[in-house]
């Protein structure tokens, strides 16, 4: 079975380099990495292994919480959120956890229209005894 981790790591680097901006936020001793991309970018065999629907109308959002003193890995977190378009039509993001060795990350699927400018609002809670962190960002999606 092929793993998704290598693909996700490559996508994170490519998106970060392309966007020219940070792909993470620092909160409470952790780096919260985030990225979004079209689900059709994932190879079919990898998508099938992780029950991910590939489509020109679907995207994925990826969240990983890594202690600030580590380069790779991840910690378990509670991740929930929404995505909305310019008309304020909102979708709930149903995150699922992916574990590959010491790497932990969370994925959620969403639908989009061509040239759709979407706003993501994601709450990440790495420590159950501390408040969650609100991550908010925007990205425009195009059907490939």
Q: What is the pLDDT of residue 77?
A: 96
Residue count (the chain):
144
**For the chain, what are the domain ranges?**
5-141
Q: What are the pLDDT tens digits along the chain (144 aa)?
A: 445 554 555 444 444 433 445 689 999 999 999 999 999 998 999 888 888 999 999 999 999 999 988 877 789 999 999 999 999 999 999 999 998 888 899 999 999 999 999 999 999 999 999 999 999 999 999 987
Q: What is the pLDDT of residue 19?
A: 46
Distances in Å between the Cα of 45 and the Cα atoms of 28, 37, 40, 109 are 37, 17, 12, 17
The answer to whether the CB of 125 falls within 8 A of the CB of 81 is: no
Q: Does domain 5-141 have CATH number 2.40.10.480?
A: no
Q: Are 37 and 19 in contact (CB under 8 A)?
A: no
């Amino acid at each position: 079975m092929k793993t998704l981790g290598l693909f996700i790591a490559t996508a994170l680097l490519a998106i970060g380099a392309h966007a020219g901006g940070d792909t993470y936020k620092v909160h409470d001793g952790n780096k919260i990495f985030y990225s979004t991309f079209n689900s059709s970018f994932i190879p079919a065999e990898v998508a099938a292994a992780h029950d991910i629907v590939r489509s020109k109308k679907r995207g994925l959002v990826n969240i990983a919480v890594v202690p600030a003193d580590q380069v790779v890995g991840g910690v378990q977190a509670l991740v929930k959120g929404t995505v909305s378009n310019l008309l304020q039509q909102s979708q709930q993001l149903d995150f699922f956890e992916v574990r590959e060795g010491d790497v932990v990350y969370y994925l959620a699927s969403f639908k989009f229209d061509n040239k759709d400018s979407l706003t993501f609002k994601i709450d990440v809670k790495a420590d159950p005894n501390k408040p969650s962190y609100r991550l908010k960002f925007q990205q425009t999606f195009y059907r490939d």
